[in-house]
Amino acid sequence: MRSPFYQHPSRMPWKATPLSAGLLVLTALIALLSNTGSNREWVVPLVMAPNVQFFVSEPWRVFTPALLHFSWPHWIFNALWMFAVGRLIEWRSPWVWLVVVLVSAVAGNLAQVWLGGTIWFGGLSGVVYGVLGYTALWDRRRRDQYAVPPMYLGLCLAFLAVGFSGLDRMLGMNLANFAHLGGLAGGLAVAAAHLALCSEPRRT
């Protein structure tokens, strides 16, 4: 892994994080083509299917709900988190970034379907919780920290609490709370596995 990027994310060149850039461009394009979910011809092939057979015939559905966004503020919110935190992971290791994104997206999507009982959801929010969980646990255990402010995770945990309390519906929002929780669990699991595999860096 490369050394952490200890400057503001805006100073990091986009060419150094092509996966993050590509993911944000792809999700923006899908939001545009699907008219933020209004065009069901684009939405239906990407949501989770209501039966278990899709695991064999259409396995991409375990990931693709993360690519959907049903409003532009939702996309902007997720894009800002991926810009500020997700890119820090890709800077150090594109492979680690890829694992965190895939695991947190799939974990969040499956949690929302199995525990939340709905297939009509989407967004990178589960991945956002995943990258925050990964960096939080890594920073707690290692000296070569990402130096992500703990307040970032605290804000998202507060947002998670709002969702599970039911205040989200009172405020006119309909949050995929289990997708957030599943994504967080996925990011923490990847961090735990990575920490177990990596030796502590030498002091300089």
Q: What is the mean pLDDT of residues 153-168?
A: 84
Structurally, what CATH architecture does the domain formed by 11-196 represent? Up-down Bundle (1.20)
Q: Does 173 score more than 70 pLDDT? A: no
Would you state the torsion angle of the CA atoms of residues 64, 79, 98, 67, taken in this order, to the nearest 10 degrees? 10
Q: What is the mean pLDDT of residues 112-126?
A: 90
One DSSP character per residue, the chain reads -PPP--S-GGGS-GGG-HHHHHHHHHHHHHHHHTTTTT-HHHHTTTSPPSSTTHHHH-GGGGTGGGG--SSHHHHHHHHHHIIIIIHHHHHH-HHHHHHHHHHHHHHHHHHHHHTT--S----THHHHHHHHHHHHHHHHH-SS-----HHHHHHHHHHHHHHHHTHHHHTT----HHHHHHHHHHHHHHHHHHHHHSPPPPP-
Entry pTM: 0.92
Tell me how far the alpha carbon of residue 55 is from its chain's centroid: 21
* Total length of the chain: 204
pLDDT in tens, 4-55: 999 999 999 999 999 999 999 999 999 999 999 899 898 999 998 777 677 7
Known catalytic residues are 125, 180
Amino acid at 143: R
- The answer for residues whose C-beta is within 8 angstroms of residue 50's C-beta and 6 or more apart is 119
Q: Which of the two residues, 185 and 1, has the higher pLDDT score?
A: 185
Q: How confident is the model at residue 116 (pLDDT cuts 50, 70, 90)?
A: confident
Hey, what are 194's tokens? 């990575």
Q: Which of the two residues, 185 and 174, has the higher pLDDT score?
A: 185
Q: Which of the two residues, 201 and 98, has the higher pLDDT score?
A: 98
pLDDT at position 91:
97
pLDDT at position 198:
85
Q: How confident is the model at residue 67 (pLDDT cuts 50, 70, 90)?
A: very high
pLDDT at position 203:
44
Amino acid at 84: A
Q: Does 104 score more than 80 pLDDT? A: yes
